[in-house]
Homo-oligomer: A and B are copies of this chain.
Amino acid sequence: MKLLLIHADYIEYETKKATKVAEPFEGKGERVEEVLVAFTAVEKGDNAEVAKAAAREIEEVARKVGAERIMIYPYAHLSSNLSSPDLAVELLKTIESSIEGFEVHRAPFGWYKAFKISCKGHPLSELSREIKGEDSEVTQALK
């Protein structure tokens, strides 16, 4: 799983068009202020354990930068090794439900969306993380 974490004054998005793999979504979008945005790509081999580790990582950065809210924002462009859409939606929901101590928002998977973001620009306001499960780490170590 790949994460790009941006500490933002705000993020605002609006759904424009569903793709073939869009999850059901009735809203049009929202604007969230003083937020850590977690752009997220779910990768092949990711599982619930990885999603929960991602939630811990996101919480830790949110605490460190003093963000009041978290937005989980699906972002396929962070990886060339994407999971199936079904698994992506499942694990994005797992991250959402695993985060504790913050107001959590989640943008829908599989929609073309317009968005506006304002990155604060301090040294911790843009961070990237790769989260791997135990199995993946073993595979890496055996290479």
A: residues with CB less than 8 A from B are 4, 14, 16-17, 77-78, 80, 112-123, 125-128, 130
Contact = CB atoms under 8 A, between A and B. Distances in A.
B119 A115 contact: yes
Contact of A114 (B4, B17, B120, B128): B120
Given A113-B121, A121-B112, A126 B4 contact: no
Copies held by the complex: 2
Contacts of A77: 4, 126-128
A121 B114 contact: yes
Contacts of A130: 80
A81 to B, nearest CB: 12
A123 B80 contact: no
Nearest to A117: B117
Contacts of A115: 118-119, 121
A114 B123 contact: no
Contacts of A127: 77
A114 B125 CA distance: 9
A22 B72 CA distance: 31
